[in-house]
């Protein structure tokens, strides 16, 4: 009989596990295969990382769901002596092994197709990023200006707007940030100030991005306001409800997001 094997593809973009109705999955069939080999529910449970009780509960559930018993056992005490697969259990295990092999071949083909499409590959890699910052933008570095302590890094958003970050010289060297390299910019929503009248004032904030309000999520004290920039990028700011009212913000209104270059955290792929 073929061996139950782990679904393993080098750096897979798509993963999947075979799961039957009733919540029975690959672990059940690993248990069945271990019972077939050892003839002992106790040994089989240890092999697949289950307790003796947990293994029996899984087997009992499978037996209850199946029209015919999958596992039978003679009286053998706590060690589970005499445990064996019934003909139906053997047939289902064999069928599962064939299905699993075809499933792995299918996943491998899909992963190869995904890996060959650079646009999809970049998108999926970006979706894997986890960070607490509400705003996350990817782009290529267009300028890097170094001084003795800090560096100013400029990247551009989809609409062509520059996004400026000030980081330490050490960070530039450690992350190997350079012109043409791809970076992710993280900005926390509370660090973004919204204004609606920028024609009569000038501001020191290096980043001044104008867009239209697309979403307002009002809370007990604060509100989240999202504005869509030209090019389709969305920037979200957290402001007080009092500020929301004083700015007369509503869906469709024009607003400008202000945030300092020092509020931008830069990251790069570890690959």
Lowest pLDDT segment from 44-58, 98-112, 233-247? 98-112
Tokens describing residue 236: 């979200």
Same domain, 148 and 118: no
Is the pLDDT confidence value at 80 over 50?
no
The reply to whether 6 falls in a domain is no
Average pLDDT over residues 44-72: 85
| Torsion over CA: 29, 34, 37, 42 (sign) | negative
Q: 7-20, pLDDT tens digit by residue?
A: 444 556 566 666 66
Same domain, 39 and 116: yes
Same domain, 66 and 149: no
Q: Give the burial class of 227: count Cβ atoms within 10 A of its Cβ; 0-12 exposed, 13-18 middle, 19 or more buried.
A: buried
Same domain, 177 and 257: yes
Q: For position 165, what pLDDT does the model report?
A: 96
Q: For position 25, what pLDDT does the model report?
A: 77
Between residues 262 and 25, which one has the greater pLDDT? 262
Q: Give the burial class of 175: count Cβ atoms within 10 A of its Cβ; 0-12 exposed, 13-18 middle, 19 or more buried.
A: middle
Average pLDDT, the chain: 82
Between residues 164 and 204, which one has the greater pLDDT? 164
The reply to whether 19 falls in a domain is no
The reply to whether 5 falls in a domain is no
Same domain, 55 and 143: no
Region of 180 (left: φ > 0; alpha: ψ -120 to 50; beta: rest) is: left
Between residues 46 and 75, which one has the greater pLDDT? 46
Q: Percent of the chain having pLDDT more than 70?
A: 80
Domain boundary among 122, 145, 172: 122
Q: Taking a C-beta distance cutoff of 8 angstroms, is the pair 236, 193 a contact?
A: no
Q: Taking a C-beta distance cutoff of 8 angstroms, is the pair 89, 98 a contact?
A: no
Same domain, 33 and 141: no
Q: For position 79, what pLDDT does the model report?
A: 45
Q: Residue 127: which residues within 8 A CB-CB, separation 6 or more?
A: none
Lowest pLDDT segment from 23-37, 49-63, 69-83, 117-131? 117-131
Same domain, 223 and 248: yes
Same domain, 161 and 67: no
Q: Residue 193: which residues within 8 A CB-CB, separation 6 or more?
A: 205, 237, 239, 257, 258, 259
Q: How many CB atoms lie within 10 A of CB 26?
A: 19
Same domain, 59 and 97: yes
The reply to whether 14 falls in a domain is no
What CATH number has the domain bearing residue 162?
Answer: 2.40.50.100
Average pLDDT over residues 138-158: 91
Range of 183's domain?
A: 135-267
Q: For position 127, what pLDDT does the model report?
A: 47
Same domain, 142 and 250: yes
Looking only at the bridges linking them, the beta strands covering 222-229 and 234-240 are antiparallel
- Overall number of domains in the chain: 2
pLDDT grade for 117, boundaries at 50, 70 and 90: low
Is the pLDDT confidence value at 121 over 70?
no
Is the pLDDT confidence value at 26 over 90?
no
Same domain, 71 and 165: no
The reply to whether 127 falls in a domain is no
What CATH number has the domain bearing residue 87?
Answer: 1.10.10.10
The reply to whether 64 falls in a domain is yes
Lowest pLDDT segment from 166-170, 213-217, 230-234, 242-246? 230-234
Domain boundary among 96, 122, 148: 122
The reply to whether 10 falls in a domain is no
Domain boundary among 62, 96, 122: 122
The reply to whether 152 falls in a domain is yes
Q: For position 24, what pLDDT does the model report?
A: 67
Same domain, 41 and 152: no
Between residues 32 and 124, which one has the greater pLDDT? 32
Q: For position 242, what pLDDT does the model report?
A: 94
Average pLDDT over residues 182-196: 91
């Amino acid at each position: 009989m073929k061996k139950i094997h782990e679904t393993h593809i080098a750096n897979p973009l798509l993963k999947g596990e075979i799961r039957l109705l009733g919540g029975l999955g690959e672990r059940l069939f690993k248990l069945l295969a271990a019972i077939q080999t050892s003839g002992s529910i106790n040994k089989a449970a240890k092999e697949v990382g289950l307790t003796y009780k947990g293994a029996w509960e899984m087997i009992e559930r499978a037996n209850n769901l199946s029209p015919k018993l999958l596992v039978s056992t003679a009286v053998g005490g706590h060690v589970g002596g005499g445990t064996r697969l019934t003909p139906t259990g053997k047939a289902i295990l064999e069928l599962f092994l064939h299905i699993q092999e075809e499933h792995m071949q299918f996943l491998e083909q899909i992963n190869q197709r995904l890996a060959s499409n650079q646009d999809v590959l970049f998108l999926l890699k970006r979706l894997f990023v986890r960070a607490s910052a509400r705003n996350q933008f990817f782009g290529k570095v267009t300028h890097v200006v170094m001084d003795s302590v800090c560096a100013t890094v400029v990247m551009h958003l989809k609409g062509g707007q520059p996004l400026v970050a000030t980081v330490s010289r050490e960070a530039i060297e450690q992350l190997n940030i350079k012109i043409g390299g791809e970076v992710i910019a993280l900005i926390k929503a509370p660090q973004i100030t919204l204004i609606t009248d920028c024609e009569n004032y000038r501001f020191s904030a290096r980043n001044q991005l104008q867009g239209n309000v697309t979403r307002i999520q009002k809370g007990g004290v604060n509100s989240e306001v999202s504005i869509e920039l030209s090019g389709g990028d969305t920037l979200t700011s957290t402001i007080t409800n009092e500020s929301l009212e004083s700015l007369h913000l509503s869906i469709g209104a024009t607003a400008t997001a202000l945030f300092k270059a020092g509020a931008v955290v830069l990251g790069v792929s570890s690959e």
